[in-house]
Structure 1
Amino acid sequence: MFTNDTLKGRTALVTGGGSGIGLEIATAYARLGASVMIVGRNEERLQAAAEGLAREGGPVQTRKCDVRNYDEVKQAVEATVGRFGSLDILVNSAAGNFVCPTSELSPNGWRTVIDIDLNGTFYGCHAAYPHLKASTHGGSIISIITMLGVTGWPGAAHAASAKGGILSLSRTLAVEWGGDGIRVNTISPGPIGDTEGVRRMYIEAGKGDLEAQKTALGRFGRKEDIANAAVYLASDLGNYVTGENLIVDGGRWLKYVAN
């Protein structure tokens, strides 16, 4: 869909880039000419991901990093700039979640998800800011959320609150940092069939057909659908888009509201 030089000359840092949607975005970026740093907590997974990314032709680096630790996030940002000379794109894809009724949710469980999703996103934005401001292409921040952070998410109040907070943070930064040439957007994926989460929660539990029918299109999405959205927002194609929540969910949230 995109020309091979769509992201040529840009450097991207992708948190949670060792697997799932984060890895798919990193792969698309590398394929389209970007230099990519992927970070995560699992070093073996990062190395396996890096081997695949190297085959796409773009320069790739990995770094073990826990986004709950600001110092580690800042070091990852500085390592990216040190290796590639700049930072133009930040993708906040690292996330944690588990299903639990709110009445049974422990303070530690709440804190863990808030730390990974919301605090980790803030840490990334904060540490990357001076480098994104200095980008010759204009900086771009993209955070992966969900419309369940807007409508509410029974059984996952911690994740819903974190994702809702990321949306508000992103729109705040879009205004605060717009004058610095930094665009800040979010993407809300729907059920993505080729992810571990959907396979585990829906398909293997025998709920795949039911969940697919909850979308207006009647089917699951693919990781590629989210990666395409992330390319658009990071590139010159989305140069006048900021503060936007790009919903890529097959119309699930609209059907939910309509019903």
Structure 2
Amino acid sequence: MAAAVVLRERWGRAALCFPFNRRFFSHGTKVLYENNNAPQAAFFSPLQKVMLPANAFQGKVAFITGGGTGIGKGITLALSSLGAQCAISSRKVDVLKQASEEISSKTGNKVYPIQCDVRDPDSVKNAVSELIKVAGHPDVVINNAAGNFISPSERLSANAWKTITDIVLNGNAFVTLEIGKELIKAQKGAAFLAISTIYADSGSGFVSPSASAKAGVEALCKSLASEWGKYGMRFNVIQPGPIKTKGAFSRLDPTGTFEKGMIQRIPCGRLGTIEEIANLAVYLCSDYASWISGAVIRFDGGEYVSMAGEFNDLKKVTSEQWDMMTAMIKKTKGS
């Protein structure tokens, strides 16, 4: 555990820069990934603007856990720019207040900072009560708060395992169930979205607590999509691949070696950007997606299928080697 590298909110905290003219992230993330792109990335350039109409969330309330940094902050900015009244939560009040003021100054819409430790049911209950008091019952709930660390599984202590599963699985469940019960009492529907990971499907060495907890989150969302549709609630999941943020990559990959390896196995030839996942998140929580529930959407530039295919490593074979193999096959058939 002592040697573990701590990751926060999937890939860390991003230094965000969003001019409010529906072109958020006009620079920011692009600067981070452009130098290491594979040639095919030119075909898959990310758009640098909000996808939905300007008032798509006008009059709606959104609650985002882990909304003060990284992906959560990006989603909050997108929702706020589309008219939503947002509330963001985490344990760190100073981070929340700074993010709230920054986003509000860019969008002109109120963002409420609400302290919450998702591991603590009482803290969650108090946060939900405050949310309803200051903003009303939410129309959108984004379960984004997460924790992770890299460690050989044989070095995991019981406390290490519990730390991650408490944040990721229990935290998601506490928030979802507490808000869901309040919505049922109020006879109001809502769209729930959880941020998971592609290795929730495959499993992954060195992050087994996270993989297990994220798989549980996905099972919870699919279960409630079936059970709570009758109350007007939808539940969906996004499984992101690597989305680059300054904080995590400067700590985890200062030389850029790991990043190059990731890009080599991503068919689209680049890493993801925060505005892309923000666009997908706001779409799934919007009225445009009102018939999508129980879905788990992989968002990774093709990384998962690239790693999974039995013969995908044949992409390393050069054209000249293919010609030689073809000639040998023809010669064998001829004999």
TM range (shorter): over 0.9
In structure 2, which of residues 91, 95, 106 is the aligned counterpart of residue 41 of structure 1?
91
- Please tell me whether the aligned partners of residues 104 and 110 of structure 2 are also in contact (alpha carbons under 8 angstroms): yes
Distance 1:235 1:203, change over 3 A: farther
> For residues 190-238 of structure 1, what are the alpha-carbon distances to aligned partners after superposition, in whole Å with 9 as ceiling and x for unaligned?
1102353344334545321111122120100101111111101110111
Cα shift readout 1:69-95 (whole Å, capped 9, x = no counterpart): 011111111111111122111111110
The equivalent of 1:63 in structure 2 is 114
- In 1, Cα distance between equivalents of 2:249 and 2:182: 35
For the 8 Å contact 2:114–2:131, the answer to whether it is kept is no
Aligned-partner Cα distance in 1 for 2:144–2:254: 23
| Aligned with residue 172 of structure 2, among 110, 116, 121 | 121
Q: Name the residue aligned to 2:235.
A: 184
Is the Cα–Cα contact under 8 Å of residues 139 and 183 in structure 1 kept in the other structure?
Answer: yes
Alignment-mate amino acid for residue 104 of structure 1: R
In the other structure, the counterpart of 1:22 is 72
Structure 2 equivalent of residue 237 of structure 1: 288
Q: 2:217 aligned with 1:166, yes or no?
A: yes
Equivalents in 1 of 2:198, 2:250: separation in Å?
Answer: 20
Contact 1:132–1:140 (8 Å) recurs in 2: no
Question: CA deviation digits over 1:136-155, x for unaligned, max 9?
Answer: 5x311101000101101110
Report if aligned partners of 1:195, 1:223 keep a CA contact under 8 Å in 2. Answer: no
SS at 1:207's partner residue? helix
Preserved CA contact (<8 Å) 1:202 1:211:
no
- C-alpha change, 1:131 and 1:204, in structure 2 (3 Å) is farther
Counterpart of 1:144, as a letter, is I
SS at the partner of 2:147? coil
Cα gap change, 1:196 to 1:245, in 2 (>3 Å): farther
Match of 1:96 in 2: 147
Distance change >3 Å, CA 158–CA 22, structure 1 → 2? same
Q: TM-score, normalised by structure 2?
A: 0.74
What amino acid is aligned across from residue 85 of structure 2 in structure 1? Answer: S
Q: Give 1:51 shift.
A: 1.3
Question: Structure 1 pair 207/127, CA: closer, same or farther in 2 (3 Å)?
Answer: same
Deviations 1:110-141 (A, max 9, x none): 000000000000001111003444465x3111
Change (3 A) 1:248 1:157: same
Q: Which amino acid aligns with 1:9?
A: G
* Aligned counterpart, 2:63: 13
Question: 2:51 aligned with 1:4, yes or no?
Answer: no
Gaps of 5+ in 2: 1-50, 313-335
Per the TM alignment, residue 23 of structure 1 is displaced from its structure 2 partner at its CA by 0.6
Task: Give yes or no for contact 2:187–2:231 (8 Å, CA) kept in 1.
Answer: no
- CA–CA distance in structure 1, aligned partners of residues 223 and 110 of structure 2: 32
Unmatched segments (≥5 aa) in structure 1: none
Larger Cα-atom Rg: 2
Aligned position for 2:259: 208
Matches of residues 140-151 of structure 1 in structure 2 within 5 Å? 140-151=191-202
Aligned length: 258
What corresponds to 2:207 in structure 1? 156
What residue is the counterpart of 1:87 in the other structure?
138
RMSD of Structure 2 on Structure 1 (CA): 1.4
Which residue matches 2:162? Answer: 111
- Higher RCO (CA 8 Å, separation ≥ 6 residues): 2
CA distance in 2, matches of 1:23, 1:132: 24
Q: Indicate yes or no: 2:101 matched with 1:51.
A: yes
In the other structure, the counterpart of 1:251 is 302
C-alpha offsets along residues 29-76 of structure 1, whole Å, 9 cap, x if unaligned?
100000111000112211110111112122110011110001111111
Question: Contact 1:17–1:23 at 8 Å: present in 2 too?
Answer: yes
